[in-house]
Structure 1
Amino acid sequence: MAAMFSQNPIMNGPNYSFSDTPRTNNAPEGARQHRFDPYTDNGGSTLAIAGADFAIMAGDTRHTSGYSINSRFSPKCFRIGGTTADQSDATMVLSVVGFAADGEALKERLDTVCKMYRYRHGKPMSVNACAKRLSTILYQKRFFPYYAYAILGGLDEEGKGAVYSYDPVGSYEREQCRAGGAAASLIMPFLDNQVNFKNQYVPGSGEGHALQERERKPLPRKEVEILVKDAFDGAVERHIEVGDYLQMMVVTKDGIEELIMPLKKD
């Protein structure tokens, strides 16, 4: 009786595999479709928040393939454009999430461009110029794009925090905050409310449409760090591709500070 229920009626036997899906009756005998698919999604999530004089880039470190965890410490935020091996004098941070190999390739290419600029001009590339260059790099590969969601962060010419978010083919926008990756749909509504002050109104300012929206202004660093940790603590409870550790990189005029904090590992 157990054997009967273990058999697949379509394949007329047990051990059904998706790699041997049944062909339709209209297909010629022996016909098989061959397909080249170079992309995969390695999970994880990133977020970025711009402050008055800082920018925070953060991401979890879980690297997945389906329901398997390939690595519990695979960082998604990288220093860009430094002159030393440890990038200690870098001024910008790039976060990439999606297909890890494409993210690594994109990071290496942008880092090379920033290093060449620094060598030729004797100064680091500005975050605005780097943002435009990254857009060009992504657009050049539009017919076989990098399967990665990129966010670039740093300080602009006025010393204010700057965050640029991208789609895979180079369209970009400067924003106050942005989340990307597997848990972006969970984190972004939280950021919209707590950072962009969406659906927040001044108490006593009126009723209905007369209500005045709360003025949007940059948050202090300590408050942003708490929001980032809260965002990922909530995401790991609801998404299996996010977890293990939280990598947070804070860009200020004094350099880039990196913090590693634990997250749920199940």
Structure 2
Amino acid sequence: MSALDAFSFLGSSTQFIERPKQASFSPYENNQGSIVAISGDDYVVIASDTRLSTGYSIHTRDQPKLFKLSNTTVLGSAGCWADVLTLSRVLEARMKMYLHEHNKEMNTPAVSQLMTSLLYYKRFFPYYVFNIVAGLDEDGVGRVYSYDSIGHKDTSNYVSVGSSAQLLQPLLDNQIGLKNIDGVTEPPRFTLDKAITIMKDVFISAAERDIYCGDSVYMIIIRKDGMVEEKFSLRKD
């Protein structure tokens, strides 16, 4: 008999003390979602699915995960929806403070650095979010930044995050990065129309395999002359 079993009895073998129960609590809940961003010489396309769910329950079928921060910058954020809303509001507040202090909007590279600072500040109790900051820099060139949970930043011409990232990223590597294709020495810069077509194809493909990706896709196209919003349907089962 182990020591723990021996202490379960008092006086006689018929008197038993119930072992303490362990209660668990997690402050996080993954509400899923997927985001993809593609940049070009004079544009950025960023898109997210609109399904917000927990486990096998769908809370809503019409919740985009993109937040317009300025005329040239968009935040894409998925994961724990409470943390998504908190982080986006803190970021928007900091950008308004910058606007009032400097009388100009923060550009996309500056927003990307601010995001790093906000995430690193919460490194001991991090936001459970998967983030992409996409937009145009001061020269009008498309920029895409992705992050880990404590603020490490990576720059790429294309990236995917969220529940379908393992399905989306290989397709992006093949179709945009042209990786593992014979005769290709350097990936070409795609036109906007080609980027939009690839964006639709990868989401349609992911929706066939990931139950957390579906319903529809909300897409924002960022160019010097402004932003254009588009929406297209996915399967709803």
TM over 0.5: yes
Q: Given the alignment, which residue of 95, 101, 106 partners 2:76?
A: 95
- Aligned match of 1:86: none
| 2:227 is aligned with 1:260 | no
Match of 1:9 in 2: none
Aligned to 2:11: none
Residue matched to 1:21: none
Unaligned regions of 5+ residues in structure 1, if any?
1-23, 82-89, 203-212
Question: For each residue in 1:167-223, what CA deviation from the matched residue of structure 2 results, as whole angstroms up to 9, or x when unmatched?
Answer: 111000111111011110000000011111111232xxxxxxxxxx33223210000
Q: Which amino acid aligns with 1:67?
A: Y
Instruction: Name the residue aligned to 2:61.
Output: 72
Counterpart of 2:44 in structure 1: which amino acid? A
**Length-normalised TM-score, structure 1:** 0.81
Unaligned runs of 5+ in 2: 9-16
The match for 2:12 is: none
1:73-122 deviations in Å (ceiling 9; x for gaps): 111011014xxxxxxxx321000011111011111111111121122112
Aligned to 1:231: 202
Counterpart AA for 1:47 = V
1:186 matched to 2:167? The reply is: yes
**Aligned AA (1:226):** T
Deviation of residue 35 (structure 1)?
2.2
Q: Give 4+ residue runs of structure 1 displaced > 3 Å after superposition.
A: 24-28
CA distance in 2, matches of 1:156, 1:174: 13
Which of 164, 179, 182 is the equivalent residue of 1:198? 179
Residue from 52, 59, 64 that aligns with 2:48 = 59
1:216 aligns with 2:205: no
Q: Deviations over 1:125-171 (max 9, x none)?
A: 11111111100000000111000000000001221100000011100
Which amino acid is the alignment partner of residue 30 of structure 2? D
* Separation in 1, partners of 2:192, 2:182: 23
Most deviating of 56-65 and 118-127: 118-127
RMSD (CA atoms): 1.6
**Aligned residue among 133, 158, 162 for 2:139:** 158
* TM, length-normalised to structure 2: 0.91
Corresponding residue for residue 13 of structure 2? none
- Worse overlay, 176-185 or 117-126: 117-126
Alpha-carbon displacement from aligned partner over 1:27-59 (angstroms, at most 9, x marks no partner): 862411122211011112111111110111100
